[in-house]
């Protein structure tokens, strides 16, 4: 076999060690996915099989279409929170339709370069997004702790203790899996009556069958699902691209963010066709796969989905007797681990600029009020833009001095755009200045039409008094911008 052929073959085909690592990693992730997929299904208000099928189709599809090898995509809490109101109000058919449309939106966004726009989302918005997600996941567990048998509470406490302390002893088996096995064994053995997964809905006993949702394809339907589809697309891409960047840092490799974006869209469309609830990259499961298990290829992602389907279809009767207390505890741990506690530490808040804190609070508050992560992110970005514009607007400085030839020279320093150029007109002494005025722009940059209009207004005011104002020192980009628009915007008299 040629050297070139060897290079193009996947690493797991040429190394038994890599193959073993990938297979074991896929199995561990599949086991860890089962409780979370069921929990996220309940979070979304649908049968457990909807989340389980979604996790299977997302993982298997993204293994082929994704741009970040070894990253795990499945049903997630973020997507569950987005679609939960739609499922509650209109039913599963509308949810599946929103997933299909959301996948299409993701492909379109990928083609127009949304991956490159991710760098414009400030860190404070990212932190707010993560914190809001954690709070929503936590509050979604409260209904399962109200009006339930008293035994649920000690079971939840025991589950939390196991998941907190077991990882300190061993990381061989995922703590959530151990918790679920132990609590299920106990409740079955002593035959206690507590809410179980089976009470939440029927588990699958066969493979998923593709098809379109049974809903009317009308404008009213489109109006109902479109906002949720946009939410699925934006939240899914944001979580996936954030997770891909994290894996890039851990593995010291670069991923194809554009491919990951349209790959997520394809995976959601496939998931929708199989009646799943949609999904995106999972930070927690990806860390299990990449960091704890050492996986690095697409095989682990594919096997995680395949093993999940086999386990669920074959062991469905066992899954049905899992106590809800165990899953509630799993989701509480997920929410606590998701929340960025450092961001709200008093020491951090004291050092953080007020604007950054405001953006984070706006993102969290908007998300909690609307129960829509996409709305929170959009409002957070808008808040960040306004605060940034206000901050930069104060960085423009105008100083004036008389030159040896009797003219007055004004030196403008800073970035000129709509927020900073509005006050520029008032920085000049039109009545008191000599007949010749020089406006030196060597230390300034023109960014928009508002700045050109402001300069037009300044030269017009001097001209109306019989004086000549000359603009000098423009850099090439500013000079080109000014030349194209100067005197052509109107309203500068």
pLDDT digits 0-9 by tens, 451-490: 999 999 999 999 999 999 999 999 999 999 898 888 877 6
The confidence score (pLDDT) of residue 74 equals 95
pLDDT average, residue stretch 28-44: 83
**Both structure tokens of 172:** 């061989």
**What pLDDT digit, counting tens, does each position of 406-450 carry?**
899 999 998 898 888 878 888 999 999 999 999 999 999 999 998
The confidence score (pLDDT) of residue 13 equals 72
- Per-residue pLDDT for 67 more than 50? yes
Q: Which helix (H) or strand (E) holds 472?
A: strand 468-472
Listed range (346-350, 372-376, 421-425, 439-443) with the worst mean pLDDT: 372-376
The confidence score (pLDDT) of residue 203 equals 67
User: What is the per-residue burial (b if ≥16 Cβ within 10 Å, else e) of 161-173?
Assistant: ebbeebeeeeeee
**What pLDDT digit, counting tens, does each position of 70-128 carry?**
999 999 988 998 899 999 999 899 999 999 999 999 999 999 988 887 777 788 988 89
Phi, psi of 113 (to 5 degrees): 90, 35
Supply the DSSP string of 191-246, one letter for each residue.
Answer: T----BHHHH-PPP-S-------SS--SHHHHHHHHHHHHHHHHHHHHHHHHHHHH
The confidence score (pLDDT) of residue 283 equals 78
**Both structure tokens of 253:** 């490799």
Q: What is the pTM assigned to this prediction?
A: 0.72
pLDDT average, residue stretch 132-141: 84
Distances (CA, A) of 228 to 134, 232, 322, 373, 439: 20, 6, 31, 10, 52
User: What radius of gyration, in Å, describes the C-alpha atoms of the chain?
Assistant: 29
**What pLDDT digit, counting tens, does each position of 156-213 carry?**
999 999 989 988 888 667 678 788 889 999 999 998 889 887 777 666 677 778 888 8
Chain position carrying tokens 């927020």 = 419
Nearest to 78 by CA among 315, 313, 223, 282: 282
- Per-residue pLDDT for 46 more than 60? yes
Chain position carrying tokens 């106590």 = 323
pLDDT average, residue stretch 239-250: 84
Asked if 119 contacts 288 with a C-beta cutoff of 8 angstroms, the reply is no
Cα Dmax for the chain: 101
Alpha helix (H) ranges present in 45-90?
Answer: 48-65, 77-90
Reduced to 3 states (helix: H, G, I; strand: E, B; else coil), residue 445 is strand
Q: How far is Cα 434 from Cα 30, in angstroms, rounded to an integer? A: 79
| Residue of 132 and 271 predicted with greater confidence | 271
pLDDT average, residue stretch 297-319: 88
| Residue of 13 and 252 predicted with greater confidence | 252
The confidence score (pLDDT) of residue 490 equals 63
DSSP count for the chain of H helices, then E strands? 23, 6
Nearest to 215 by CA among 207, 206, 224: 224
User: What is the per-residue burial (b if ≥16 Cβ within 10 Å, else e) of 54-65?
Assistant: bbbbbbbbbbeb
**Could you tell me the strand order of the sheet in which 408-416 lies?**
397-402, 408-416, 436-446, 468-472
Distances (CA, A) of 341 to 122, 127, 132: 18, 10, 12
């Amino acid at each position: 076999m040629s050297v070139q052929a060897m290079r193009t073959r996947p690493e797991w085909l040429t190394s038994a060690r890599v193959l073993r690592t990938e297979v074991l990693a896929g199995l561990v992730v599949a086991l860890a996915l089962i409780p979370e997929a069921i929990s996220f299904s309940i979070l979304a208000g649908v049968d457990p099989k909807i989340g389980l099928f979604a996790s299977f189709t997302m993982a298997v599809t993204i293994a082929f279409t994704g741009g970040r090898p070894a990253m795990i995509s499945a049903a997630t809490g973020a997507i569950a929170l987005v679609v939960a109101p739609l499922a509650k109000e209109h039913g599963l058919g509308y949810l599946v339709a929103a997933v299909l449309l959301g996948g299409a939106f993701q492909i379109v966004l990928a083609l127009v370069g949304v991956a490159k726009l991710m760098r414009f989302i400030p860190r404070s918005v990212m932190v707010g997004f993560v914190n809001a997600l954690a709070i929503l996941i936590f509050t979604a567990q409260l209904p399962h702790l109200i009006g339930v048998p008293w035994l649920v509470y000690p079971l939840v406490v025991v589950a939390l203790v196991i998941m907190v302390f077991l990882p300190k002893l061993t990381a061989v088996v995922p703590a959530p899996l151990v918790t679920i096995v132990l609590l299920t064994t106990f409740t079955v053995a002593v035959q206690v009556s507590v809410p179980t997964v089976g009470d939440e809905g029927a588990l699958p006993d066969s493979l998923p069958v593709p098809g379109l949702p049974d809903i009317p394809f009308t404008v009213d339907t489109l109006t109902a699902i479109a906002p949720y589809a946009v939410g699925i697309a934006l939240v899914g891409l944001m979580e996936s691209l954030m997770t891909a960047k994290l894996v890039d840092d851990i593995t010291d490799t670069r991923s194809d963010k554009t491919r990951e974006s349209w790959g997520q869209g394809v995976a959601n469309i496939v998931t929708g066709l199989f009646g799943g609830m949609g999904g995106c990259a999972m930070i927690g499961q990806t860390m299990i796969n990449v960091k704890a298990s050492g996986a690095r290829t697409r095989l682990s992602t594919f096997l995680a989905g395949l093993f999940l389907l086999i386990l669920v279809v074959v062991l469905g009767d066992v899954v049905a007797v899992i106590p809800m207390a165990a899953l509630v505890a799993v989701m509480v741990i997920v929410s606590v681990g998701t929340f960025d506690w450092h961001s709200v530490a008093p020491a951090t808040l004291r050092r953080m600029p007020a604007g950054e804190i405001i953006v984070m609070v706006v993102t969290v508050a908007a998300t909690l009020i609307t129960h829509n992560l996409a709305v929170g992110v959009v409002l957070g970005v808008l808040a960040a833009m306004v605060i940034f514009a206000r901050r930069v607007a104060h960085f423009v400085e105008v100083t004036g001095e008389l030159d040896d030839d009797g003219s007055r020279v004004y030196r403008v320093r800073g970035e000129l755009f709509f927020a900073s150029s509005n006050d520029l007109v008032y920085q000049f002494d039109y009545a008191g200045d000599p007949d010749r005025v020089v406006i030196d722009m060597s230390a300034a940059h023109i960014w928009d039409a508002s700045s050109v209009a402001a300069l037009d207004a300044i030269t017009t005011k001097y001209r109306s008094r019989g004086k000549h104002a000359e603009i000098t020192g423009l850099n090439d980009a500013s000079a080109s911008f000014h030349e194209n628009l100067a005197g052509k915007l109107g309203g500068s008299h």
